[in-house]
C-alpha cells in the first residue's frame, strides 16, 4: 500500500525489555507514552498500531455491564461492557483511534474449533494505520513530542505498541508544514440495558466522524493531505434461560479516505479503505453426564470484509469462518467434544481472483480447495 517504503521506522514501545517490548495497559486510565523527535525533513508519516487483548479483557466483545455484575453479586471480573477503542495522542491531542477487530485466540470460546485451523487473525494480528501527515506542523520543531496509547473502557490487560513510518525529503534538510483542519472528536456512544436476575439484554452503538487536513512544503512542492474517516459500531448481547443461553452480535464498519492535492488543487493520490468486521457468537450451557460437568454448545461466525481503492487500482478481500461444536467440561478441563469449522477466503483485484475453502472436523482437515475464479457474490 505504501510505495516506496518508509525511509525511517521509529518504534513506540516499552523500553524495559525484561518484560518484552509491548506496553501493558491494565485499565482505561492506564495510558502509556513514548517520546519521539522527528527529523526536520520529514515529509510524510504513518503510524502502524498493534493491539492484543488478554486476561479479563480477552473476550471484551462478550462483556456485560458493571451494573449487571453488581446486581447479580457476581465475582466475574469481566465487565465494563462490550465496547473498546484504542486511541493515540500527540502531546495530549487525539490523532488516531481504532475499534479493533475481535480476534479469537486458540483457546477462545471453544478450543476444539481451532484445530488445525485457527480463528482469523490469531496467528497474524491485524495492524491499523493512521496517516499523521496532517499533524507534521505540530512536531517539526527539534523538540521531543509525547506519543500516548490507551484503551477506552479497557480492563486488565491489553498489549499495545506502534511503529512510526517516516518518509524523508532527500533533497532538503528541512520542510515546512501546518495543520489546517483538526476535527477528531470522541466517539458518540449510546448504551441501553434491561435485565432481571441473570437474563437480560445490552446494546451499544457508537459513531465517529473525523476530518483532518494539513500541508507540507518540500522539494516535491506544496502538498495537502486530507483525511476523512467514518466509523460505526454496534453490539447486542442477550442472556436467556437463567443466563445459560447467550448470544453476542457485533459489527464494526470503517470508511477511510486519504487524498493528497498539489498547490493548485490537482489530485496527486487518493486511497479509500472500507472494512467490515461482523461477529456472532452463541453459547448454550447444558447439564453434563455427571454432576460436576457441563456441556457447552457453541456457534461462532465472524469475518473480515475489506475493500481498498488506490487510484485506479482496487482489491477486495473476504475472509469468513463458520464454526460449530460442543464440549463437555469439568472446571476448565475439556473431557470430550466435537467441532467443525468452515472457512472461505476470497481475494480479488485487477489481475484476477484467488479463492480457498477449508473445512475441519474434530481436529482433522477434511477439505482444502483452491480456485482462481471468483464466485458471483464478490
Neighbours of 189 (CB within 10 A): 16
Asked if residue 4 has a cis previous peptide bond (ω within 30° of 0), the answer is yes
Torsion from C-alpha of 88, 92, 60, 14, nearest 10 degrees: 70
HSE of 64 in the Cβ direction (CA atoms, 13 Å)?
24
pLDDT in tens, 80-108: 999 999 999 999 999 999 999 999 999 99
Query: How would you class 124 by CB atoms within 10 Å of its CB: exposed for 0-12, middle for 13-18, buried for 19 or more?
Result: exposed
Neighbours of 331 (CB within 10 A): 6
CA–CA distance, 300 with 185 (Å, rounded to integer): 33
Residues ≥6 apart with Cβ < 8 Å to 351: none
Q: What is the pLDDT of residue 75?
A: 87
Q: Phi-psi category of 291—alpha, beta or left, where left has phi over 0 and alpha has psi -120 to 50? A: alpha
Q: What is the pLDDT of residue 332?
A: 85
Mean pLDDT per 10-residue interval, the chain, length 378 residues: 86 82 94 97 98 97 96 92 98 96 95 96 95 97 97 97 97 96 93 96 98 97 97 98 97 98 96 98 97 97 98 96 98 95 97 96 98 76
For residue 19, what are the CA distances in angstroms to 12, 124, 148, 221? 15, 21, 19, 45
The residues facing 109 across adjacent strands are: none
Q: Phi-psi category of 118—alpha, beta or left, where left has phi over 0 and alpha has psi -120 to 50? A: beta
CA–CA distance, 166 with 318 (Å, rounded to integer): 30
Q: Which sequence spans correspond to the domains of the chain?
A: 8-371
CA–CA distance, 36 with 240 (Å, rounded to integer): 50
Q: What is the pLDDT of residue 76?
A: 87
Q: Are the CB atoms for 317 and 346 separated by under 8 Å? A: yes
Q: How many residues are listed for the chain in this entry?
A: 378
Q: What is the pLDDT of residue 376?
A: 67
**Given the DSSP bridges, would you call strands 93-98 and 85-90 parallel, antiparallel or unpaired?**
antiparallel
Q: What is the pLDDT of residue 292?
A: 94
CA–CA distance, 199 with 193 (Å, rounded to integer): 11
Q: What is the pLDDT of residue 233?
A: 98
Residue reference for cell 445459560 = 244
CA–CA distance, 73 with 70 (Å, rounded to integer): 5
Q: What is the pLDDT of residue 204?
A: 98
Q: State pTM to two decimals.
A: 0.94
Q: Which of 57, 129, 136 is nearest to 97 (CA)?
A: 129
Amino acid at each position: 500500500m505504501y510505495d516506496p517504503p518508509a525511509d525511517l521506522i521509529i518504534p513506540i514501545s516499552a523500553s524495559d525489555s525484561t518484560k518484552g517490548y509491548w506496553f501493558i495497559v491494565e485499565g482505561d486510565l492506564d495510558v502509556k507514552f513514548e517520546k519521539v523527535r522527528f527529523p526536520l525533513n520529514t515529509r510524510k508519516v504513518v503510524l502502524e498500531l498493534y493491539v492484543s487483548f488478554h486476561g479479563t479483557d480477552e473476550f471484551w466483545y462478550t462483556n456485560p455491564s458493571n451494573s449487571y455484575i453488581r446486581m447479580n453479586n457476581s465475582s466475574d471480573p469481566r465487565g465494563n461492557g462490550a465496547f473498546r477503542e484504542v486511541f493515540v495522542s500527540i502531546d495530549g491531542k487525539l490523532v488516531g483511534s481504532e475499534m479493533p477487530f475481535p480476534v479469537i485466540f486458540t483457546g477462545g470460546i471453544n478450543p476444539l474449533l481451532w484445530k488445525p485451523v485457527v480463528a482469523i487473525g490469531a496467528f497474524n494480528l491485524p495492524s491499523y494505520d493512521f496517516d499523521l501527515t496532517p499533524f507534521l506542523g505540530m512536531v517539526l520543531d527539534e523538540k521531543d513530542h509525547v506519543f500516548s496509547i490507551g484503551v477506552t473502557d479497557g480492563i486488565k490487560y491489553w498489549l499495545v505498541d506502534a511503529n512510526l513510518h517516516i518518509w524523508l525529503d532527500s533533497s532538503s534538510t528541512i520542510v515546512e508544514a501546518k495543520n489546517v483542519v483538526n476535527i477528531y472528536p470522541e466517539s458518540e456512544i449510546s448504551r441501553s440495558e434491561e435485565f432481571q436476575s441473570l437474563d437480560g439484554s445490552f446494546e451499544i452503538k457508537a459513531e465517529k466522524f473525523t476530518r483532518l487536513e494539513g500541508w507540507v512544503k518540500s522539494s516535491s512542492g506544496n502538498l495537502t493531505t486530507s483525511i476523512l474517516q467514518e466509523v460505526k459500531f454496534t453490539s447486542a448481547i442477550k442472556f436467556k434461560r437463567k443466563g445459560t443461553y447467550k448470544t453476542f452480535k457485533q459489527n464494526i464498519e470503517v470508511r477511510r479516505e486519504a487524498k493528497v492535492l498539489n498547490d493548485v488543487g490537482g489530485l496527486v493520490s487518493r486511497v479509500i479503505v472500507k472494512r467490515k468486521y461482523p461477529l456472532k457468537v452463541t453459547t448454550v450451557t447444558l447439564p453434563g453426564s455427571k454432576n460436576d460437568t457441563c456441556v457447552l454448545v457453541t456457534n461462532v461466525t465472524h469475518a473480515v470484509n475489506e475493500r481498498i481503492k488506490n487510484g485506479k487500482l482496487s482489491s477486495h478481500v473476504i475472509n469468513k469462518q463458520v464454526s460449530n461444536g460442543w464440549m463437555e467440561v469439568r472446571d476448565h478441563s475439556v473431557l470430550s467434544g466435537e467441532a467443525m469449522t468452515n472457512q472461505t477466503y476470497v481475494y480479488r483485484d485487477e489481475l484476477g481472483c484467488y479463492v480457498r475453502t477449508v473445512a475441519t472436523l474434530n481436529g482433522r482437515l477434511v477439505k482444502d480447495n483452491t480456485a482462481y475464479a471468483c464466485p458471483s457474490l464478490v
